[in-house]
Structure formats: C-alpha cells, structure tokens
Amino acid sequence: MYKVVPSQIKNKIKREEIHAKQKQLKSRKKIEERLRRQKEEAEDPEKKKERLAKNIPRTLENVREFDETIVDAEDLEVLEDEASDEFSKYFQEGVSPKMLITTNKRPSKVGYDFASELIDVFPNSNFVRRKNQVSIKQIIEFCNNRNYTDILVVNEEKKVPYAITLIHLPEGPTAYFKLTSIKLNNEIEGHGRSSCHKPELILNNFNTRLGHTIGRWFQALFPHVPEFKGRQVATFHNQRDFIFFRRHRYVFKNKDRTELQEIGPRFTLKLKWLQKGTFDKNGEYEWMFKSELETSRRKFFL
C-alpha cells in the first residue's frame, strides 16, 4: 500500500492535515496495543513478568564498557592501599582538614567572588590574597609551616575562572581540574542562605581506582562528623567523568514536610591530570587526560 509522506506534499494546509491524521492514527494504535497487552497480562500474569524482565532501561551504567579498574569498596587490596595512602591520616588519626584558598596572580573581582564562596563551602578554610611575586612553591612552604592540609588555587583567564589546582599537603598529590558552568549564590533562583554548620557529604559514582582516589580526597576536605542540626548537604556527583557540585540545605516547612533548597555555588569539574607530590611542572604524573584515551563514549575514567 502506498504511504503518503507529508514532507512531499507541497500544499501546506494539506500537508499539515495529513500529518495530523497520521499522528492521530499512530497514537490510536499505541493505545489499542497497550489495552490488548493489559488484557492478555490480566489473563496470564506470567506474560507481564516476562515483559518486565526484558524491558530493562538503558542507563549510563548498564551500557558502560567493562573497566578492570572498577573497584569494590570492600576489596582487600583496596583496603590495604587505603591504610597507607596520602589521606590515611584523615581517616585513621582524625586529622582535621585545614585549607588555604587563593587565586592566580592578578585576579579579577570575579575570581575573588568565586573564591569567597568556596570559603563558605569548605569548613576550616581561609582565603589569602596572592601577591604577584609569590610562587606556588612559596605558598606550599607557607602552608606546610602552618599545618594546612590542602591548597586550592582558582585559575582565571580573561576574568573567567576556568580551572582549579588542588594540592594535598605535605607530600601531595596534586590535581588539576577544568572548571565550567559556575553559578554563584546570587545567580541561583530561590537560593538559600548557608549557616556555619558542618555539611553532610554525598559522593556518587566514583567507581574506578582513579575515581576512588579523587573521592577519598574530597572526603578529606570536609570535617569527619557533619552537624546534622544545620542539615546542609554538599554533593559531588560523577557522571561521564564530569563532577557536578551542588550544595543544599533542608528547609522544614512543618513537622510532616521537608524540602531541599539550593544554597550555591554550583559548578562542574573535569579532571585533567593527577600528579605525585606537590605541584611541579617537571614532576611525575599518575594520570593525565589525552584525547586519544576517549576512544568510546561508553568508557569513563572516574
């Protein structure tokens, strides 16, 4: 039977009429098929079970390519590595995080504003204005002498923050993240106000060995025991190697109703390289992103 293709009809009114009829017919067939299936499944429940077993939705995780670096948090080898890695003091000895936040040389007001909001994100953090003649090495030495555990540098270009350099003290590692999709507190519609309470931390989908390291590092940036009284939540969600950061607070409308209100800031990170030790341009890199690594859209590194 010849099928009319609306796009081949020159008359606009006729074309729209034929398209509407075809759309209506297609919708009617779908309804009839659904009713027929419901009737059959009501008579034979096994058919419904069989359909649901086959009807598995495609998600990022179930189409992901097998990766031998994906780890189980309870794996013995992983636990042994954690006992002696750079962040073990935080988990075993209860070391409290203390972060210094600064910028690149000659930052703009935009860079200062973003750094100011990061101070609000990370408890026990301080902002220090960077003088033009001060190098990263000098900042590291300054922080080591004052018991800082981490340094965060906001990198800016043309008045736009574009990257973050994160340095763990005293012996590294150092990570460099591309920074995108920044929204400050006042740019988020209906934003809430933060309090001085220590936030609860949520990490999602840091499943590979590399992702596990980055996830432990994020954990080590926040105090051990969150203050649930204030009910603030900081979330790092990893999806296709993009790390989305969001911060919310619980708003108690009444005894039976609680809502989440975003506080801000909001931003996205993408790991570009991870280096052993503290920052050194000629140092040894544990991992570095290269375009040729991205051979498939179903392969992820974190």
> Which CATH number goes with the domain that contains 117?
3.40.50.10480
Is 257 domain-assigned? yes
Residues 104 and 142 in one domain: yes
Q: What is the pLDDT of residue 181?
A: 95
Is 301 domain-assigned? no
Domain count, the chain: 2
Q: What is the pLDDT of residue 228?
A: 63
Buried residues in 44-56 as b, exposed as e (16+ CB within 10 A): eeeeeeeeeeeee
Residues 86 and 208 in one domain: yes
Q: What is the pLDDT of residue 68?
A: 65
Residues 139 and 81 in one domain: yes
What pLDDT, in 10s, does the model give residues 261-292?
Answer: 899 899 999 999 999 999 888 889 999 988 76
Residues 49 and 174 in one domain: no
Residues 160 and 251 in one domain: yes
Domain that holds residue 239: 76-293
Q: What is the rounded distance in angstroms from the CA atom of residue 207 to the CA atom of residue 119?
A: 28
Q: What is the pLDDT of residue 1?
A: 47
Cβ–Cβ under 8 Å, residues 207 and 299: no
Q: What is the pLDDT of residue 60?
A: 61
Is 282 domain-assigned? yes
Written as one string, the DSSP assignment of 111-123 is HHHHHHHHHHHST
Residues 190 and 101 in one domain: yes
Is 265 domain-assigned? yes
Residues 50 and 97 in one domain: no
Residues 161 and 50 in one domain: no
pLDDT by 10s per residue, the chain, length 302 = 456 787 788 888 888 888 888 889 899 999 998 898 888 888 888 888 888 888 877 766 666 666 666 777 677 777 777 888 888 888 888 888 999 999 999 899 999 999 999 999 998 999 999 988 999 999 999 999 999 999 999 999 989 999 999 999 999 899 999 999 999 999 988 888 887 778 889 999 898 889 999 999 999 999 887 666 668 899 999 988 899 999 998 887 777 777 888 998 999 999 999 999 998 888 899 999 887 666 666 677 77
Q: What is the pLDDT of residue 182?
A: 95
Residues 30 and 155 in one domain: no
Residues 12 and 48 in one domain: yes
Q: Measure Cα distances from 180 to 155, 161, 183, 244, 270 in Å.
A: 12, 8, 9, 10, 8
Q: What is the rounded distance in angstroms from the CA atom of residue 128 to the CA atom of residue 149?
A: 15
Is 202 domain-assigned? yes
Is 300 domain-assigned? no
Is 19 domain-assigned? yes
Residues 96 and 238 in one domain: yes
State the pTM of this model.
Answer: 0.78
Residues 153 and 190 in one domain: yes
Is 234 domain-assigned? yes
